[in-house]
């Protein structure tokens, strides 16, 4: 004998899996979209690198100096592989730029008057670089970086020559960077052998993952829950369901459980795709060797349990809210629009806590954060390696109460005729 | 024995009074019709009996249970088919029947098989419901309503929107099954032909109250007219 609850859960799952639109958007798309994004990003980066390696740079030099250091710079640029240099004299900067653009040059380098005399007399001087971009892209802006790096090499050679002229035994490295800093961070009693900026960056990248998962999980499950309720109303199957010999709270629980299970599958698919994307992006940038172990930290078991519970409670809270909201709509489309609003209380704590801890925020903002049940998984995630505070443990109780209250209201609504008669009406005032 | 006893039913929707003191009773084993034009209060009455809407005033008992006080008990003895009802389109007909049968305890396999037999859809039951025609879907839904052998089957416009062939098939399904298994049926309709074919007794409803009750034949004879349609017009005072 199948229990009513199990019966409803299995029907919900079957329906979701067999609905091509839901299955595509929940499982297939997330599994494909992020790897495709990662591949697209990788292709763009590697082809940019390849282009920069092999392309010919055409640089126009406006030589307003005409003396030894200016000539030396032009000679240095000319000797650079893949670089063609054309020198221009006797025109102003604007004309030089117009000519360079018309003739398809990549950059204009302007050597100021008195460049050589300033260099010789030890006065600081300057060089202007105008990069000519055809479009705004990584590749185009990278061209500027290339010209700049060549000029810096020239500058380095000059510095080396000046140092050599002083007859000192010190190396150029010593002159340019005489002090090296070994930085460490102390975080809540843990000594971490990295600079605070690196530690903050690491934790930020870690703490963005939880809000992203949570956001996806909640939005997806809320939408799903809303769709299952609204489609029952739209297809007129709800009327039949509510006259069956089964408690209406069982129907609600069955629907919520079925959706929660499928939402978790969807979230895993999203996360799998997202992690693949993140790995492919970070590995291109060389990545960082910083790990939890290398920082001397361990995962706090209480925090992990708190995180799991708070995510589960947040999910249930979102589902109950979505079911409640969907009860006020007549069709799937309006249910989706209405439950889309749930994203707001998910985004607010995610963005605020990405940059600041609740403790340093003004009282009213703190109040808003603590009132939103979706804040607590993010708080728990932040405390994963350093331990969670009482606010997270309080949050678990609060989340549970919030969910029970919303579920109770939804249950009451389902137990009365309001499930058929309640409707949100937006009347325009004349 | 009366399965349904409706006494002075009143139902208000905000400012509109849909039922204005409707009273009737349905005997065990009979097919009873609520007859009337659109907006007369038939569907409201049916939905109150199905425990979906709440009474503003009056009492309605089904198999001795008060719909207002004991809705869960009422749901154990009724089976309801809404007008223009849908089914879960991504399930097959057989899965749909099994899903519904699972709510009826240990005999679910037997109940689902009975439902499958009632439909007469045979191998088409293994197709997804979204591939069904309107007539096939209605047959499936009627079968779902009857398969649990409810004390009271409540059918709202059971042949609404069906073509002649399917409407005839559905009427025969209802009549034969109700007779064979002594299932009491309360249905609403504004199709007088259907009512004369199916119903043992009817109540004519107009503007939320019962204006006449009796057998279809008795009502036509009483008013000296040829058919139920004319009897209805006679009773409500229209041409």
Q: Write the DSSP assignment of B144-210 as a string of letters.
A: HHHTT--SEEEEESTTTT--HHHHHHHHHHHHHHHHHHT-EEEEEES-HHHHHHH-SEEEEEETTEE
Interface touch A237/B76, C-beta < 8 Å? no
The tally of CA atoms less than 13 A away on the side-chain side of residue A273 is 21
pLDDT for res B57: 95
Of A181-190, A371-380, B70-79, B177-186, the least confident: A181-190
Q: What are phi and psi of A21, to 5 degrees?
A: -65, -45
Q: Quick one: pLDDT at residue A296?
A: 67
Distance from CA of B215 to the nearest CA of A (A): 29
- The radius of gyration computed from the CA coordinates of chain B, to the nearest angstrom, equals 18
- Residue B85 near chain A (CB below 8 Å): yes
Q: How far apart are CA B117 and CA B121, in angstroms?
A: 8
What pLDDT sits at residue A426? 46
pLDDT computed for residue A416 by the predictor: 85
Residue B72: its chain A contacts at CB < 8 A?
245, 247
With bands split at pLDDT 50, 70 and 90, how would you rate the model's confidence at B17?
Answer: very high
Say whether residue A121 is in contact with chain B using an 8 A CB cutoff: no
Across A32-36, A303-307, B73-77, B109-113, least confident range: A32-36
> What 3-state class would DSSP assign to A426?
coil
- For B50, which of A243, A246, A421 is closest by C-beta distance? A243
CA distances from B145 to A11, A369, A416, B105 (A): 19, 50, 22, 16
Q: What chain A residue is nearest to B67 in terms of C-alpha separation? A: A243
Q: Please name which of A239, A423, A217, A225 lies closest in space to residue A310, comparing C-alpha atoms.
A: A217
Half-sphere exposure of A208 (CA within 13 A, CB side): 9
**CA-to-CA distance for A393 and A371, rounded, in angstroms?**
14
Q: How far is B170 from chain A (nearest CA, A)?
A: 19
Q: Which of A144-148, A185-189, B86-90, B217-221 is the least confident region?
A: A185-189
Nearest to A69 by CA among A110, A120, A124: A120
A contact residues 14-53, partner B, Cβ 8 Å cutoff: 14-15, 18-19
A412 vs B: CB within 8 A: no
CB–CB of B51 and A242 under 8 A? yes
CB < 8 Å to A19, chain B: 90
Closest CB to B99: pick one of A11, A242, A417. A11
What is the radius of gyration, based on Cα positions, of chain A?
A: 31
**Whether A2 contacts chain B with CB within 8 A:** yes
Q: Which residue of chain B comes nearest to A231, CA vs CA?
A: B88
The residue among A361 and B186 whose pLDDT is bigger is B186
Q: What is the mean pLDDT of residues B71-95?
A: 92
Q: Cβ A243–B78 below 8 Å, yes or no? A: yes
Q: What is the pLDDT of residue A159?
A: 80
With H, G, I as helix, E, B as strand and everything else as coil, classify residue B9.
Answer: strand
Contact B104 A245 (CB under 8 A): yes
pLDDT at A429: 41
A244/B84 Cβ within 8 A? no
Partners of residue B82 in chain A, C-beta under 8 Å: 236, 239-240
Tell me, yes or no, if B80 comes closer than 8 A to chain A by beta carbon.
Answer: yes
Contact between B88 and A15 using a beta-carbon 8 Å cutoff = yes
pLDDT at A425: 52
Q: What is the pLDDT tens value at each position of chain A, 430 positions in all?
A: 578 899 999 998 888 888 877 777 766 776 777 677 777 777 777 777 777 777 788 899 999 998 888 898 899 888 888 888 999 998 999 999 999 999 989 899 999 998 888 888 888 888 998 888 877 776 777 777 788 888 888 888 888 777 777 777 777 777 777 787 788 888 767 777 788 777 777 766 666 666 677 777 788 788 888 888 888 888 889 999 999 999 988 998 898 888 888 877 776 776 676 666 666 655 554 445 666 666 666 667 777 788 788 888 888 888 888 888 888 888 888 888 888 888 888 888 888 887 777 778 888 888 988 999 988 888 887 777 666 778 888 889 999 999 999 989 988 888 888 888 776 554 444 3
pLDDT at A298: 65
pLDDT of amino acid A264: 77
**Predicted pLDDT of residue A51:** 75
Tell me: pLDDT of B239 over 90.
no
For B185: left if phi > 0, alpha if psi spans -120 to 50, otherwise beta; the answer is beta
Mutate to test the interface with A, among B67, B86, B130, B151 (most CBs of A within 10 A): B86
What's the mean pLDDT in B52-76? 94
Q: Distance from B35 to chain A by nearest Cα, in Å? A: 22
Q: Is the pLDDT of residue B39 over 80?
A: yes
pTM, full prediction? 0.74
pLDDT at A430: 39
8 Å CB contact of B106 and A1: yes
Q: What is the pLDDT of residue B50?
A: 95
Nearest by CB to A236, which of B51, B82, B144?
B82
Upper half-sphere CA count for residue A241 (Cβ side, 13 Å)? 31
Distance CA A215, CA B90 (A): 28
A 245-274 residues with CB below 8 A of B?
245-247
Confidence of residue B52 (pLDDT cuts 50, 70, 90): very high
Contact B51 A243 (CB under 8 A): yes
Quote the pLDDT of residue B123. Answer: 92
C-beta atoms of B87 and A420 within 8 A: no
Minimum mean pLDDT among A247-261, A410-424, B96-110, B128-142: which range? A410-424
pLDDT of residue A428: 42
pLDDT in the model for residue A288: 57
Average pLDDT over residues B210-221: 91
d(CA A297, nearest CA chain B) in Å: 50
CB contact under 8 A, A240 and B81: yes
Among B75, B76, B81, B153, most A C-beta atoms within 10 A, so best to mutate, is B75
Beta carbons of A127 and A72 less than 8 angstroms apart:
no
The confidence score (pLDDT) of residue A352 equals: 83
Among residues B81, B113, B93, B84, which one has the least CA distance to residue B186? B81
> By the CB < 8 Å criterion, does B75 face chain A?
yes
- How many residues are listed for chain A in this entry? 430
The answer, for B149 touching chain A at a CB cutoff of 8 Å, is no
The share of chain B scoring above pLDDT 90, in percent, equals 69
Is the CB of residue B15 less than 8 Å away from at least one CB of chain A? no
CB contact under 8 A, B80 and A235: no
Pick A18's closest partner by Cβ from B86, B90, B105.
Answer: B90
Q: Which pLDDT band holds residue B99 (cuts at 50, 70, 90)?
A: very high
- The mean predicted confidence, pLDDT, of chain B is 91
């Amino acid at each position: 004998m199948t229990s009513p609850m199990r019966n409803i859960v299995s029907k919900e799952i079957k329906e979701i899996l067999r609905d091509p639109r839901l299955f595509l958007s929940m499982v297939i798309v997330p599994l494909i979209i992020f790897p495709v994004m990662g591949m697209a990003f990788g292709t763009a980066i590697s082809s940019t690198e390849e282009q920069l390696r092999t392309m010919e740079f055409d640089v126009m030099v406006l030589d307003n100096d005409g003396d030894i250091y200016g000539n030396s710079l032009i000679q240095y640029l000319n000797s650079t592989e893949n670089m063609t240099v054309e020198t221009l004299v006797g025109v102003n900067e604007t004309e030089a730029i117009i000519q360079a653009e018309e003739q398809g040059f990549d950059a204009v380098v302007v050597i100021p008057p008195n460049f050589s005399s300033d260099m010789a007399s030890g006065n600081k001087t300057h060089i202007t670089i105008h990069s000519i971009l055809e479009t705004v892209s990584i590749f185009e802006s990278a061209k500027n970086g290339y010209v700049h790096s060549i000029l810096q090499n020239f500058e380095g050679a000059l510095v080396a020559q000046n140092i050599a002229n002083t007859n000192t035994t010190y190396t150029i490295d010593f002159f340019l960077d005489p002090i090296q800093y070994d930085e460490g961070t102390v975080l809540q009693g843990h000594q971490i052998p990295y600079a605070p900026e690196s530690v903050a960056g690491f934790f930020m990248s870690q703490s963005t993952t939880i809000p992203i998962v949570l956001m996806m999980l909640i939005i997806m499950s809320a939408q799903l829950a809303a769709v299952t309720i609204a489609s029952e109303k739209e297809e007129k199957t709800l009327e039949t369901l509510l006259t069956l010999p089964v408690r209406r709270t069982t129907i609600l629980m069955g629907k919520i459980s079925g959706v929660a299970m499928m939402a978790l599958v969807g979230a895993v698919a999203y996360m799998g795709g997202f992690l693949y994307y993140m790995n492919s992006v970070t590995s291109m940038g060389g990545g960082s060797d910083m790990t939890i172990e290398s920082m001397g930290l361990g995962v706090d078991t209480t925090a992990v349990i708190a995180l799991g519970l708070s995510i589960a409670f947040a999910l249930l809270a979102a589902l109950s809210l979505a079911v409640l909201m969907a009860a006020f709509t007549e069709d799937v489309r309006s249910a989706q629009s209405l439950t889309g609003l749930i994203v707001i209380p998910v985004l607010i704590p995610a963005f605020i806590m990405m940059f600041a801890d609740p403790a340093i925020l003004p009282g009213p903002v703190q109040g808003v954060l603590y009132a939103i049940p979706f804040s607590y998984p993010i708080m728990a995630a932040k405390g994963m390696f350093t331990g969670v505070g009482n606010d997270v443990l309080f949050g678990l109780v609060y989340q549970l109460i919030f969910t029970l209250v919303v579920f109770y209201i939804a249950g009451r609504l389902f137990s009365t005729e309001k499930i058929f008669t309640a409707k949100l009406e937006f009347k325009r005032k004349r | 024995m009366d399965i349904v006893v409706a006494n002075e039913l009143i139902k208000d929707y905000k400012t509109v009074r849909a039922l204005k003191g409707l009273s009737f009773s349905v005997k065990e084993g009979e097919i009873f019709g609520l007859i009337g034009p659109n907006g007369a209060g038939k569907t409201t009455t049916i939905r109150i009996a199905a425990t979906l809407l709440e009474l503003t005033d009056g009492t309605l008992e089904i198999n001795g249970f008060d719909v207002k006080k004991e809705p869960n008990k009422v749901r154990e003895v009724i089976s309801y088919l809404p007008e223009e009802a849908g089914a879960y389109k991504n399930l097959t007909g057989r899965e749909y029947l099994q899903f519904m049968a699972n709510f009826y305890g240990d005999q679910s396999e037997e109940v689902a098989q009975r439902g499958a037999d009632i439909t007469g859809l045979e191998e088409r039951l293994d197709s997804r419901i979204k591939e069904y025609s309107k007539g096939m879907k209605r047959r499936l839904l009627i079968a779902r309503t009857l398969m649990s052998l409810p004390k009271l089957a409540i059918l709202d416009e059971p042949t609404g929107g069906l073509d002649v062939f399917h409407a005839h098939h559905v009427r025969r399904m209802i009549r034969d099954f109700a007779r064979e298994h002594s299932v009491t049926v309360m249905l609403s309709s504004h199709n007088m032909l259907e009512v004369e074919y199916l119903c043992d007794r009817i109540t004519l409803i107009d503007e939320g109250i019962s204006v006449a009750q009796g057998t279809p034949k008795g009502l036509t004879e009483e008013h000296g007219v040829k058919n139920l349609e004319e009897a209805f017009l006679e009773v409500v005072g229209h041409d």
